[in-house]
A and B are shown apart, each in its own frame.
Chain A
Amino acid sequence: MKGIKRLIYVPILHAREDSGRASSILQGNEINNAKRGEINKELSSVDEMWKGIAAKIGELNLPYKETRIYQDGLPACSNELEIVTRLAESGNPNFLLILDLMKKRAKLEGTENMDLLMQEYDLLNKLLMKNSDKNRMETIAEYQTKSRELLTLRDEFIFNRIKSTLQKGELPIVFMGVMHRLDKMLEKDFLVSYVIYRLPFRSIETIYNS
């Protein structure tokens, strides 16, 4: 296996409260009592999933000083650390884990192209605004086509970003949403090891269908 670089790939599920919890805290929104039980149930599943992922990563005994983190949605800008800290403070388990890895001396790398993220945001805005339209299915189909194209562009950028920023001897750890096909691109240059935590079936159902 000499000469083949290893890469740790963590496929992540963007559970609703990954971002919703952060958003509500930041915007000062209050969760009503009727929803609290449902959200708590989902939160415990999400937390369990992230605890499982953290434990699995812990078992890998990573050489933290030589580990470079790449994160879905984190733009390459001058304030990656501030973004991660802000999201971790708001309780996002994904970013809490990243902060924990950084405390162990892992390095954080801006991963995405800000312009492409802005395009994604605009696309989502349009979808959510038109969601109640009569032509809902048409809007969704249009969104799916455009978002798939955008995802390919994002994957290409991230792939090049990893290749250009990774230093000799470093181990990349990539946290990426399950819809991405980045791992397929990376297979050409890296030996990809997946970190997957299998939730009990009911918990998956909670995350997806509640």
Chain B
Amino acid sequence: MRHKPSLLRANPILFSPLYLNAENISTEKLLALYRSADFFSPQLVSGLVKTILDMEKHGERLSVDCSPEERRKLIREMKGMSMDIQYTLRDKAETMMEISIHIVPSEVLERAQQGKIDVTQYQKLNDDLDKLIVKLIVKEVRRRFTSKVMGYFQSFLRSSQVPPFITQLLDMGWFNLKGQLLKEASIDDLLTGKYSEQFEHLMPKELLQEGMQIRETIKTCFAIGQDNADSLIQDAKKRHALLEIIIRETKTQ
């Protein structure tokens, strides 16, 4: 059973455990998954954050209207109560993504007494959740591909004639005798880098195609979802060029 931390016990971004079922994410569904999180449900993350913060806001009002004794009584009475919010994204009957939030109202009320969350914190919480979704997609997708590559490595190791390329990677400490990829292994090196030729020769075409799609997904997720320095500079240049024209046009009138 997955652990569901309470809103109060954990770091704010941890109160929303996200679960991605890698087995049910095929590469052709990756874009759908990312876009649905980002665009199809544009209010999902902020909606969830808002629900939680609204509870605290109401808790605050409740606290202000109560005497300290009544407040303590209310918190005592609420002990043991909890609320679960579940967001599930399915592909037919298979669950692709799940966000579970477990809230303990008495703890929310206690937290509300400590002070109001400001807009900056709200914004940060929102951004953190966005980034968390991107990171989890990347992590799960990478894990899925890695496990497939491992499967092939294992089958090579079991064969009577181990291909020299595999022996070389084994000697370099890229993977162990169980076929498990080690820390030094770089998927990029295998797919597009210095070992791509040998990798392409040994691995089935479908795996390579899947690997490339995954690599592109990861790049895109990072480019869109993360504060990547290069893409930020690219965006800045685009915006700068546009504003330059607008300012020039405004001045010439």
Pairwise interchain contact B233-A128, C-beta atoms closer than 8 A: yes
In A65-123, which residues have CB < 8 Å from any B CB?
A: 73-75, 77-79, 82-83, 86-87, 90, 92, 114, 117-118, 120-121
| B224/A121 in contact, CB under 8 A | no
The distance in angstroms between the C-alpha atoms of A208 and B246, with both chains bound, is 23
**Do B245 and A22 have beta carbons less than 8 Å apart?**
yes
How distant is the Cα of A208 from the Cα of B228 in the complex, in angstroms?
11
Given contacts A14-B235, A131-B233, contact A209 B220 (CB under 8 A): yes
Q: Contacts A19-B239, A23-B244, A201-B31 given: A77-B250 contact, CB under 8 Å?
A: yes
Q: Which of A109-147 contact B (CB under 8 A)?
A: 114, 117-118, 120-121, 124-125, 127-128, 131, 136-137, 140, 143-144
- Choice from B224, B236, B238, B249 contacting A83 with Cβ under 8 Å: B249
User: What total of A-B pairs shows CB separation below 8 Å?
Assistant: 124
Question: Contacts A19-B245, A75-B246, A83-B246 given: A128-B237 contact, CB under 8 Å?
Answer: yes
Give the residue of A18, A125, A183, A204 whose beta carbon is less than 8 angstroms from that of B42. A183
A15 at the interface (CB under 8 A from B): yes
Contacts of A19 in B (CB 8 A): 238-239, 241-242, 245
Chain B contributes a number of interface residues (CB within 8 A of A) equal to 38
**Contacts A74-B246, A77-B250, A194-B39 given: A201-B220 contact, CB under 8 Å?**
yes
Shortest distance between the CB of B62 and any CB in chain A (Å): 23
17 of the cross-chain contacts (CB-CB < 8 Å) are A14-B242, A19-B239, A20-B237, A22-B245, A23-B244, A26-B245, A83-B245, A87-B245, A121-B240, A121-B244, A128-B233, A184-B43, A196-B39, A201-B213, A201-B216, A201-B220, A208-B231
Interface residues of B (CB under 8 A from A): 30-31, 35, 39-40, 42-43, 46, 123, 213, 216-217, 219-220, 223-224, 227, 229, 231-247, 249-250, 253
